[in-house]
Structure 1
Amino acid sequence: MTATASINLRISDAEKALIDQAAQSMGKSRTAFILENTLRIAEEVILDRTRFTLDSDTWNELQTALDTPPSEEQVRGLGKLFATQAPWQKQ
């Protein structure tokens, strides 16, 4: 992918030195270090969104679904799902 956008940051000399030290210790450029870590955290933030609102009927349906034991087919499906690497984890 070709980079076409830029982001400018204002940081203190101490913050810049810390970032540079960490990037150097990982054998990366400052840009690569900042980009890789920022993207990783951004994905985590988006994927970790856990708060949602349901009306009472939908809440009751969810409770029923959670209280019902899974079928053998669902268990097999979950096994397959958990054995599959997430797209954002693939190298």
Structure 2
Amino acid sequence: MSQQDDTEREFDIKWADGAEYKEPSARARMLAARWKENPPEPQPFRAAPGPRTPRRSSWASTAIVLGCVIAVILLLGYSRFQAPY
């Protein structure tokens, strides 16, 4: 085979882009088949957010964290005090 044959066989992107019909992707075909039997319900542009659970105040979270830190400090101090030197 000559090098000229190889250049003729190269994929021509301009020729592919100029095709009249482009095959849909596998996902598009799957969704089209699924929606043919069971069409999706219409959705608003931005769906309403779901119900929110009430959050603790920032003071409660701060108190919990500080309480844990103080408990660890006291526990370490107590274990150090009980340990024989």
The TM-score with structure 2 as length reference comes to: 0.20
Question: Which of these two proteins has the greater Rg computed from alpha carbons?
Answer: 2
Q: Work out which structure has the larger RCO, using CA pairs closer than 8 Å and 6 or more positions apart in sequence.
A: 1
The TM-score with structure 1 as length reference comes to: 0.19
